[in-house]
Amino acid sequence: MVKICCIGAGYVGGPTMAVIALKCPAIEVAVVDISVPRIAAWNSDQLPIYEPGLDEIVKQCRGKNLFFSTAVEKHVAEADIIFVSVNTPTKTRGLGAGKAADLTYWESAARMIADVSKSDKIVVEKSTVPVKTAEAIEKILAHNSKGIKYQILSNPEFLAEGTAIEDLFKPDRVLIGGRETPDGQKAIQALKAVYANWVPEDRIITTNLWSAELSKLAANAFLAQRISSVNAMSALCEATGANISEVSHAVGKDTRIGPKFLNASVGFGGSCFQKDILNLVYICECNGLPEVADYWKQVIKVNDYQKSRFVNRVVSSMFNTVSGKKIAILGFAFKKDTGDTRETAAIDVCNGLLGDKAHLSIYDLQVTEEQIRRDLSMKKFDWDHPIHLQPMSPAAAKEVSVAWDAYEAAKGAHGICILTEWDEFKTLDYKKIYDSMQKPAFLFDGRNVVDAGKLREIGFIVYSIGKPLDSWLKDMPAVA
Ligand code: UDX
Ligand code: UDX
Ligand code: ADP
């Protein structure tokens, strides 16, 4: 029986291993983590991450061929294939602060593998890492090898949160990079055989190590770039009276461009896009390619611009002040169908409004109050100027409340901001909400989920990203 061990029971490791266990009954999969509460949660009825379809799979496989454990060393020692799926945050200090990936967790995992291994291993990079990390890991393993042979593979994960299970069941492609030596090719084939249990062969791409590593950064950079492109257009649409949905539709019909990932928004978030682009920027700078670095930096700059543009629009529409006004925030997660808030646009928008002394009442279907408070009081790292910005003051903390439903959040509010595209927000009783609000009642739709026409009939003043502006908003131009 092939044994797989995955180090890191997070958003990537957990779902990926659950699906491998489900699709490969002949493989024993152990997911290990140093975090005791995280493993306890994976072994409970309340999984540590929310992902549609995940609960059923874990229930079906756990205790059979899927195990969650803190016995990291034991499972690593026993495994034939070790996936490393530990976190790789952006460095917050020292060389490359604000841009380079922090490989501390990776390095310690690699040293531990070298310490405890007694048989040959295939070590698979699952978390996104800078190009040439595999080489560094290879060096650590080789210099501590005690005669054991290691093969390093890069097998980046392309799943998106909220659709992780779907993405894992039917991936557009599985990418496996390895050394171009006979042993390297053998390792590639071994990993390919695992995926071949459910992924059609023509969707499994094999490359050299560096191509696989770079492809992951490139794919995320391209995706983020599409959103910044459409968001930049949304600003121009508002200025000219064009409609971003119509523009996106028309542009996306070109088969060379394609219709997906062209939704204007209040800004992209998530653990990957910004981190991976910053990492790409850093690699370009280190390789003497400042023009290329600047090109990709612009994708993040436009994203930051989109968030501050939204805040400016809210404030300027409401007579240039939100001081002391209650504003309902609908949605805090970085996208729908997840409870994840990493790099969510909501953090910057909320902090922007708090900076103008608004009172916020926040409602999200999946994010806990504890998480919201933690996010809003965290020091923000400015990627462009590596200094720590001030966290939310205790006074500002008092201006935040967390509501249990959208109606409670909106009651008595002057305005509503929709920041996550949860389906629920499409079908709320907006008449009831309108009646409970201060007048004039504003709604700022950062995700284009509501029917603005209907809401205007009710009496709302509506702002929709990239759509022709109400006369009210035209009379109150936002200062960019
Ligand atoms: C992304 C990649 O899609 C995935 O392939 C990679 O493995 C990890 O990073 P994820 O961050 O989970 O996945 O979610 P994604 O669906 O890509 O959304 C990222 C952000 O972009 C979200 O904030 C989302 O709301 C935003 N977005 C997405 C838009 O604003 N408009 C769009 O059209 C699409
Ligand atoms: C373009 C648009 O494709 C077309 O829809 C529009 O109506 C007019 O402008 P055209 O300029 O005739 O058409 O040719 P196109 O095939 O788009 O190529 C433009 C340039 O891009 C060429 O120099 C081509 O060599 C280059 N190109 C194209 C690349 O360098 N790489 C590619 O992958 C594709
Ligand atoms: P991702 O989104 O990439 O999956 P997460 O932060 O959700 O990232 O998960 C990474 C996990 O890796 C965390 O649960 C963390 O505790 C775990 N981890 C980090 N370093 C180690 C290590 N050396 N050994 C075991 N687990 C680790």
What pLDDT is stored for residue 68 in this prediction? 98
| pLDDT band for position 397 (cuts 50, 70, 90) | confident
The more confident residue out of 101 and 277 is 277
Distance 206 CA to ligand 2 centre (A): 30
Q: Which of 253, 363, 351 is nearest to 310 (CA)?
A: 351
- In what order do the strands lie in the sheet containing 121-125? 66-69, 27-32, 2-7, 81-84, 121-125, 150-154, 174-178, 204-208
Cα 320 to Cα 74, 172, 323, 445, 449: the distances in Å are 61, 47, 9, 18, 25
Share of the chain above pLDDT 90, in %: 86
Share of the chain above pLDDT 70, in %: 96
State whether residue 31 is helix, strand or coil: strand
pLDDT at 386 over 70: no
340, 163 contact by CB (below 8 A)? no
What pLDDT is stored for residue 257 in this prediction? 98
| pLDDT band for position 388 (cuts 50, 70, 90) | low
C-alpha Rg value of the chain to the nearest Å: 24
How do residues 71-106 score in pLDDT, each as one tens digit? 999 999 999 999 999 988 888 888 988 888 899 999
Instruction: Report the pLDDT averaged over residues 207-222.
Output: 96
Which atom of ligand 1 is least distant from the CA of 162?
12
What pLDDT is stored for residue 389 in this prediction? 52
Q: Percentages helix, strand, coil for the chain, rounded to the nearest 5?
A: 45, 15, 40
pLDDT at 212 over 80: yes
pLDDT mean across residues, the chain: 94
| pLDDT band for position 1 (cuts 50, 70, 90) | confident
| pLDDT band for position 130 (cuts 50, 70, 90) | confident
pTM of the model: 0.94
What pLDDT is stored for residue 340 in this prediction? 93
Q: Answer whether 7 contacts ligand 3 (Cβ < 6 A).
A: yes
pLDDT at 269 over 90: yes
Backbone angles phi, psi at 123, to 5 degrees: -105, 120
The more confident residue out of 386 and 194 is 194
pLDDT at 390 over 90: no
State whether residue 416 is helix, strand or coil: strand
Q: Would you give the distance in Å from CA 158 to the centre of its chain?
A: 11
| pLDDT band for position 383 (cuts 50, 70, 90) | low
What pLDDT is stored for residue 480 in this prediction? 56
Q: Which residues of 258-293 are buried (b: 16+ CB within 10 A; e: fewer)?
A: eeebbbbbbbbbbbbbbbbbbbbbbbbbeeeeeeeb
pLDDT at 401 over 90: yes
State whether residue 408 is helix, strand or coil: helix
pLDDT at 406 over 60: yes
443, 462 contact by CB (below 8 A)? yes
| pLDDT band for position 470 (cuts 50, 70, 90) | confident
Q: Which token pair is 412?
A: 């008595």
**Residues with C-beta less than 6 Å from any ligand 1 atom:** 157-161, 220, 223, 227, 261-263, 265, 268-270, 272-273, 334-335
117, 147 contact by CB (below 8 A)? no
Residue 272 annotated in active site: yes
The more confident residue out of 473 and 284 is 284
Pick the residue whose CA is nearest to atom 31 on ligand 1: 263
Distance 31 CA to ligand 2 centre (A): 48
How do residues 20-33 score in pLDDT, each as one tens digit? 999 999 999 999 99
How do residues 325-372 score in pLDDT, each as one tens digit? 999 999 999 999 999 999 999 999 999 999 999 999 999 999 999 999
pLDDT at 228 over 80: yes
Q: Which domains does the chain have, with CATH numbers?
A: 2-199 (3.40.50.720), 244-475 (3.40.50.720)
| pLDDT band for position 278 (cuts 50, 70, 90) | very high
pLDDT at 478 over 90: no
pLDDT at 380 over 90: no
Distance CA 324, CA 354 (A): 10
Cα-Cα-Cα-Cα torsion 287, 292, 296, 301, nearest 10 degrees, comes to 100
Distance CA 179, CA 211 (A): 11
Distance CA 13, CA 153 (A): 16
Pick the residue whose CA is nearest to atom 8 on ligand 3: 87
pLDDT at 45 over 60: yes
Distance 113 CA to ligand 3 centre (A): 15
What pLDDT is stored for residue 476 in this prediction? 77
Pick the residue whose CA is nearest to atom 21 on ligand 1: 268
Q: Which of 119, 122, 125, 90 is nearest to 107 (CA)?
A: 125
Cα 257 to Cα 118, 216, 260, 265, 296: the distances in Å are 50, 20, 9, 19, 19
284, 100 contact by CB (below 8 A)? no
Ligand number nearest CA of 164 is: 1
What pLDDT is stored for residue 14 in this prediction? 97
Instruction: Report the pLDDT averaged over residues 221-233.
Output: 98
Q: Which range has the worst mean pLDDT, 108-117, 127-136, 454-463?
A: 127-136
Q: Answer whether 206 contacts ligand 3 (Cβ < 6 A).
A: no
